Amino acid sequence: MLHPDTELRYINDNIGYGVFAKTFIPKGTFLWVLDELDKILSPDMVRKLPELLRNSVEKYAYVDCQGDYVLCWDFGRYTNHSCHPTMRSLGQSVEVAIRDVAAGEELTCEYGVLNLSGSFNCACGKPNCRQTVTANDVNVYWQDWDAEVNAVLAVIPDVPQPLRSFIKADSTDKTLLEAIFNRQAVCVPSHVLYKTEASTMPKEDRSGDTLWKVRHS
Amino acid sequence: MLHPHTQIHYKNDLIGYGVFATAFIPRGTILWVRDALDSVFSQAYFDSLPAHYHALIDHYTFRNTNSDYVLCWDAARMINHSCAPTSAGTEFDFEIALRDLQIGEEITNDYALFNLKNYESFDCYCTETTCRIYISRAQYKDSVRMRREELKHVLQYIDSVPQPLSDLLTPHQLQNCLDILNSNE
């Protein structure tokens, strides 16, 4: 579910729709969370869909680290990619604002962590635009990306979090999020969240317990 | 799934979004078919969710004839009410255009068919000459009768207009609808 202070806008025929902030939103705010209404489809279910629906899933859903398709039930699925995104993945169920978002600014995320099956050309126009976004990018940039998430962990408990109560009850990030709100989390090595094919991390490091590290004070 | 020649537009702060035709769509066209990506929730599942989900689900779902909640995965959940709707048939899990839709015309349903809860009654601003001003479940029977008459009339055109959603509609679904319409249940 997207942050309530957002709206859908049509950008142009090339990009289509995008999601925009209606108000100022401070960094550290959860801009999207995986909620109870988001649709999760196994690859087998997707294969068996009529072509019309399968095409829609390929266009609007992303692939999680289990290889399942996640179709956001709300406008979350219109969030565009940027090489200098507004939000980054914090675990599997949260996208957090890594910078302050001005009213009217577009909310963007990093498609490179969404287990892309192919690559796409990016025209985000940011100075660090990678031109081509691929599933392998995560192996190259994960430290930079994680650093941006880690830099806002400390402010997460201090800003309003209207989406916190909507996080899916069986979220694998529950302990992580609890630690963050208890100001115990040190870092979130999110690169281990990516599907095997997309990541160079050894498979045994992918269990829920090793997704992040907590300092027990 | 909604007909591909449709798009959502923000109408105003009172109504919110609506669904509009992006091309001419002739009467008899299948505008929507319930599909495998739509979610159907039982009352028990609704009750099991935290209370802050309830308003959200009431807002974006309609209730089918089993009183289950249907959350359309696409813009179909943005279809607004009108007392002179352009689309009907939801209770048969598909909808047909009740009249020709010009580019920019809105796709609308009669919400009185949707098993409204008592607290879901609402003031209507559709401005149609047939506007019922206040919509509630008390109008269910009358709405069923009116919409089914219209539906029966336009179903005769179903084979003579382009049907981009035909792959999603099963012959059984259509036959079931025709049987019910012809039996005047």
What confidence tens digit (pLDDT) does each residue in A126-183 have?
Answer: 999 999 999 888 888 888 888 899 899 999 999 999 999 999 998 888 888 888 898 8
Token pair for B89: 């048939």
Q: What are phi and psi for residue B107, nearest 5 degrees?
A: -90, 125
**Per-residue pLDDT at B185:** 56
Q: Which of A41, A45, A165 sits opposite B52 (nearest CB)?
A: A165
pTM, entire model: 0.90
Cross-strand pairs, B106: B20
Nearest CA in chain B to A70: B37
**Per-residue pLDDT at B184:** 67
CA A25 and chain centroid, separation: 17
DSSP count for chain B of H helices, then E strands: 4, 12
**Per-residue pLDDT at B78:** 96
Token pair for B121: 């009654």
Q: Which helix (H) or strand (E) holds A29?
A: none
Q: Which helix (H) or strand (E) holds B58?
A: helix B54-60
**Per-residue pLDDT at A115:** 83
What number is the ipTM of this complex?
Answer: 0.91
Q: Which helix (H) or strand (E) holds A156?
A: none
Question: Exposed, middle or buried: residue A99 (CB in 10 Å: 0-12, 13-18, 19+)?
Answer: middle
Chain A residues touching chain B at CB-CB below 8 Å? 7-8, 36-37, 39, 41, 45, 49-53, 56-57, 71, 73, 165-166
Q: What are phi and psi for residue A26, nearest 5 degrees?
A: -75, 155
Inter-chain residue contact B53 with A36, CB threshold 8 Å: yes
Q: What are phi and psi for residue B133, nearest 5 degrees?
A: 65, -50
Nearest CA in chain A to B41: A37
List CB contacts (< 8 A) between A163 and chain B. Answer: none
Inter-chain residue contact A49 with B50, CB threshold 8 Å: no
List CB contacts (< 8 A) between A50 and chain B. Answer: 35-36, 167-168
Residue type, B3: H
pLDDT digit string (tens) for A99-112?
Answer: 999 999 999 999 98
Q: Which helix (H) or strand (E) holds A58?
A: helix A51-60
Nearest CA to B76 out of B65, B64, B90 is that of B90
**Per-residue pLDDT at B146:** 97
Contacts of B179 (CB under 8 A, 6+ apart): none
Nearest CA in chain A to B38: A39
Query: Within chain B, which residues score under 50 in pLDDT?
Result: none
pLDDT digit string (tens) for A81-102?
Answer: 999 999 999 888 999 999 999 9
CB B171 within 8 A of CB B11: no
Q: Is B30 on the interface with A (CB under 8 A)?
A: no
Per-residue H/E/C for A75-127: HHHHCEECCCCCEEEECCCEEEECCCECCCCEEEECHHHCCCCCCEECCCCCC
**Per-residue pLDDT at A175:** 81
